[in-house]
Amino acid sequence: MRNGSGRMLPNITRRAMLAGTAALGGSLLLPAQVRAQAAQPVKGGTLRVAMPFNPAALDPLTGRNNPDFNSLFAIYDALMDFDPNTLELKPGLAKSWEFTDPTTLVLELVEGVEFHDGEPFNAEAVVFHLDRCTSYARSNVKSDVASIDKVEATGPYQVSIKLKNPDASLPAALSDRAGCIVSPKSVKEAADGNVDRNPVGTGPFKFVEWRDNDLIKVERNTNYWGDEPYLDAIEFRIINELNTASRAVTAGQADLALNLAAQQIAVARRDSNVVPEAAPSLIYYTSFLNYKDGPLADVKVRQAMNWALNREDLNRVLMLGLGQGHCSMFPTGFWANDPETENYYTHDLDRAKKLLAEAGHPNGVEIETWTWPDQAAVQRQEVISSQLAQAGIRLKVTPAPPAQAMQNFLTDKKGHQLLSPTGGLPDPSITYDRQFSGNAYRNAGGIELPGFRELMDASLSTFDQESRKKVMYDLQRFVLENALHLPQYLSAGMTVRTPKVHEFVFGLLNRPKFHKVWLEA
């Protein structure tokens, strides 16, 4: 069938692309930084960013989704900074921190910093902020700082945080939303303390305006406490549709597009004027399972499901090969990921059927499944259903918008599994806690299998990095052996940019920082 000229790839290239050959996948998985940069940074220019999601709020405490972060780190600094590719913590607004004992964290703050509204940044401001995290009615980060008991200013630039229990993940939490310090003055002056739409932080850029679902504009903070940023300003244009966002870069209307999907990368690759990038991400696609009631209470059934999946195919078809098709919750190379158990489950239909038979389902089993109704989610569900069906596991799927699906499965405990992406959290302990702890919202059954709690607590009370890593490995093995969920594949952080944009890194958490980004003239 004839159609527009020039836009169709010849057959072979497309087949190769869709088959996800190594030539495609390999070179794209390197973080952008590693490629040689010969040019010298240039000051000036407005970076035009296209992103598909309108933030829920620009107050780090009241926002709620990962993509909100695209603009947050331009406006706010967090107490801790982090390396975007390893998540190793670095000094931020706290120039150093130390656990003086397992339940006391002491922060030494940077001096001479001012908020965008001129107010001084000091221990008092941090105390005010952390108290707000725990007590503000609209604060969504209470669970991040749940371990905090009391925060005190023990010096003009020193803060002591007393914890209810040991929490080795707290510094990482303080590199994230909870640690993005909001100007106390702005909160006190705002009606109802609501600064959702008028953010004031200490970041390299100052907030200028936010036209809802249209544009967020920030400009250089000439009073920045660190090196001044190279960019004059950043315009975040909100373009709800992914193809449109990507096309904005190809057409020259934007310099950078964020949060894209595999299709846009595939299309952008045809254009030699833009640079598509797909780097490892902490977001993974899985199913939340109810392992307390129903057919999934039997570990053999859960294991059978895990053996029935062909994760490489899932990665190839759904991510066009740009993700990682293994069963860990973390990408290959991440410190908390155990390479030995990364492929604990491989594609083994016989094993799946055998386990099902042992579990008392020789003729297969039906699993009631919730999924979201958008095309990408539906597509995922179709491939997974088809794979599981080959082992006799039949999915009875009900699509519903996220509010309904989550209410039905997680609140009302109806059905057996919910297909959903998750992850993207700054510390692995938080990731395990959010999904598998007894009181975790995403744990539909609400139970913890024996052995989990000890490992979970150990991950929070082990402070030595090497020992903590071993605990993480144990946790990974525990989750996999008990098949607590149905991991499918890891996502990738996908962006498209023009070659004029330098030093941009999307990072594992997809939380970009624009401090060092510069635009070629």
One of 13, 213, 223, 273 touching another protein (CB under 8 A): 213
* Nearer CB in complex with another protein: 192/227: 192
Determine which residue in the list 141, 159, 174, 475 makes contact with another protein, applying CB under 8 A: 141
Window 66 to 95, contacts with another protein (CB under 8 A)? 66
Rounded Cα gap, residues 142 and 129, in angstroms: 12
Candidate list 244, 346, 461, 482; residue touching another protein; CB under 8 A: 244
Tell which positions 5-64 bind another protein, by CB under 8 A: 5-8, 11, 14, 18-19, 54-57, 62-64
Q: Is 168 in the site for another protein (CB under 8 A)?
A: no
Site for another protein in 455-484 (CB under 8 A): none
- Interacting positions 188-207 with another protein (CB under 8 A): 194, 196-197
> Are the CB atoms for 108 and 97 separated by under 8 Å?
yes
Q: Please tell me the count of residues contacting another protein according to CB under 8 A.
A: 80
Judged by CB, which is closer to another protein: 1, or 38?
1
Give the largest Cα separation in the chain, rounded. 74
Name the minimum Å distance from CB 57 to another protein: 6
Q: Find the binding residues for another protein in span 95-134 (CB under 8 A).
A: none
For another protein, the closer CB: 320 or 492: 320
* Shortest Cβ 100–another protein spacing (Å): 29
Judged by beta carbon, residue 14 or residue 453, the one nearer another protein is 14
Q: Does position 421 bind another protein by CB under 8 A?
A: no
Angle (CA) 30-493-431 rounded to 5° is 110
String of DSSP letters for 208-246: EEEETTTEEEEEE-TT-SSSPPS-SEEEEEE-SSHHHHH
Establish if 142 lies at the interface with another protein (CB under 8 A): yes
Q: Which of 444, 512, 516, 441 is nearest to 484 (CA)?
A: 444
Q: What angle do CA 332, 431, 300 make, to 5 degrees?
A: 80
Chosen residue from 175, 287, 408, 435 binding another protein by CB under 8 A: 408
* Of 218-226, 245-253, 285-293, 499-507: span binding another protein (CB under 8 A): 245-253
Q: Which amino acid is at 519?
A: L
Considering the complex, state which of residue 122 and residue 140 has its C-beta at the smaller distance from another protein: 140
Cβ at position 378, least distance to another protein in Å: 6
Q: Which of 13, 165, 386, 467 binds another protein (CB under 8 A)?
A: 386
Q: Which of residues 303-322 bind another protein (CB under 8 A)?
A: 313, 316-317
Of 162, 203, 194, 168, which Cα lies nearest the Cα of 79?
203
Question: Which structure tokens are listed for 377?
Answer: 């989610």
Strands (E), 32-120: 46-51, 80-82, 89-91, 94-101, 104-109
**Close Cβ partners of 300 (under 8 Å, ≥ 6 residues apart):** 355, 356, 358, 359
User: Which CB atom, from 40 or from 375, has the smaller least distance to another protein?
Assistant: 375
Instruction: Report the 10 Å Cβ neighbour count for 73.
Output: 21
| Nearest distance from C-beta of residue 117 to another protein, angstroms | 20
Nearest residue (CB) to another protein, 252 versus 451: 252
CB of 245 to another protein, least distance (A): 8
In the block, tokens 């190379």 appear at 333
96, 240, 273, 465: residue in contact with another protein (rule CB under 8 A): 240
Q: Which residues in 344-383 contact another protein (CB under 8 A)?
A: 373-376, 378-379, 381-383
Least distance between another protein and beta carbon 334 (Å)? 19
Rounded CA gap, 237 and 254, in Å? 8
Q: How far is the CB of 34 from another protein (least distance, A)?
A: 28
Pick one of 89, 94, 123, 266: the residue that binds another protein (CB under 8 A).
Answer: 266
Least Å from the CB of residue 15 to another protein: 8
Q: Which of 12, 36, 39, 403 binds another protein (CB under 8 A)?
A: 403
**Residue 447 is a binding residue for another protein (CB under 8 A):** no
Q: HSE of 504 in the Cβ direction (CA atoms, 13 Å)? A: 30
Own/partner long-range contacts of 204-210 (Cβ < 8 Å, ≥24 apart)? 204/74, 204/77, 204/228, 204/229, 204/514, 204/515, 205/74, 205/75, 205/229, 205/231, 205/233, 205/234, 205/514, 206/75, 206/116, 207/58, 207/75, 207/116, 208/233, 210/58
- Long-range contacts, 144-152 (Cβ 8 Å, 24+): 144/173, 144/176, 144/177, 144/178, 144/430, 145/170, 145/173, 145/178, 147/460, 149/103, 151/126, 151/127, 152/127
